[in-house]
Structure 1
């Protein structure tokens, strides 16, 4: 987005309220693409490159479709702009249609449902884990060629959705106005009156969901129960310190949101908007999570969707996530193979002493709890 939106994907996000439909006009398109030997490949049912024959056959099938529909991919989010441009350069035969970069994970799914059967429906999704868990029926299973190098805890076993890039929940702040918070409770002090913002609503936005997760573990709770995190933000609201303004590039640049809970890679990017902007990952227990890639089961361009997945998990793009300040899913395997960009890896913020990553069940349970209690807690 030309700003950082209420994006529900990058860590976890859950939609428990209706979202506006994204109405797009278009016609249905076929899912079969010609294979190299002249036979037809059912791209929509392909679960790996081998179903096409070779990777070159997949490329040919995607080029024959000629388009890729993406949604909710902000160009200034984790280096998506450079990633999209590289795909366009590598495959000029495939037109990338970028729709609604500012919408949430929940709205991605709504767009797919609204436009089902149309050639304007999203081919692929980028989602927070909670939204992914709620919508597995919307996805087509697919395992990229680098599947075995992706940690098991970052992927659904059949390939319905797969973690791709992530980071740590952090606090960004204008150092010309505020001291660096050393603990979560520092934010309850009068110095932070009307200053602390979340990147969205935690019932819909992944970054905000993760902020509640961080507050939970920093309050000696566990990810089995987000109640301590909800309680913290309730206290922040009662203290008059919670700022209910959506965080964007412009709100950071103008000083409207001077203290922000967000992923470390997003907070770090605000340093170009405010020269005094600094980022802290709180000591102790840190909260980490990954955004997930998935293919629309009703993708109008199923071969291009699968080629896009292969592209995202390639060495080149995994290093581009790193360039954007995010931690790529294949970082360990690439480090071992010597294909990781060591200079970029060294620039990442130091990891906290202990890291927790929510399981599928923890994310689902937390989403349900937030849906029940968040609005009342911060009203």
Structure 2
């Protein structure tokens, strides 16, 4: 299905129900190179594997804008959602409140990267000279869809700085969250990073690293073409075992990881694996951005104390230092990351609400939530493990 809108013959706005309908190179020219999660390969792998589909409650309705010469100049990964799972911006209380008041919260519209709490561009613009204009066209289109279909709300999750500057001038409500990120202060090696920490935290990390490798565990790091099918199969076994125990049904299937392995996005993958007695026992998949290493998926077949911290946090830091990467973003939530050198960092999302009374209630909620988050960040920073707090 496609829907079109003619804007005085200058731009043509469409919605499409499968990313396959778009030329890959055209999409990627809009997405850029800074963030692998908005790439065609990543989004198409989610659809092709069936992880994103009508059946899973993520119904693609991607927004694209062509110019008068039929060139793609802007796009966004847009979905109809009939639940709030796999978003990591939690609006279940909003849904419950509207349902109790007799309204329908679902379906809703959302621009996001499914199952990925990673900040980055969401309104993807190829023509940077017309960026503000194109973003306004896209926003008007989103609101038009919501109003025509009497949808409760529109959500833009985990936005980057450029989108934040734009949405700050709109009627969308701002929501702030917290993640924990590590910053590379031009460290030459891991030991130099340790010297920036307080003595107590430094000793604690050294102890954790030593204990994580006690039972003849060896750590290996594979990137790009070094990653092979054996690694992917082993990792999926870790992922399924851990995810099933912690959360029940996993969001992602083996085909998704296999497709990533087969596509060009493999060049952006960093796979850190642990081996014991010649068997792979644990691992984590990271992705390389222009300035950041993004930690995404973790799993283990055996329970070894501190091995999760070693693979997901310390090995990621070592890789970032070695490759002069500015940041490590280790996923959602996690105050336990603080003592390991990861400091609080704000995340942003933006929300449009159709019903004015409901909007007022959410706005009041967000004011209180923002105040609470500010206090939390101040507290976390007061507990910083660094010498110069």
TM-score by length of 2: 0.26
Q: Larger Cα Rg: Structure 1 or Structure 2?
A: 2
Q: Indicate the structure with greater strand content.
A: 2
Which protein, 1 or 2, shows the higher relative CO under an 8 Å CA cutoff with sep ≥ 6? 1
TM-score by length of 1: 0.27
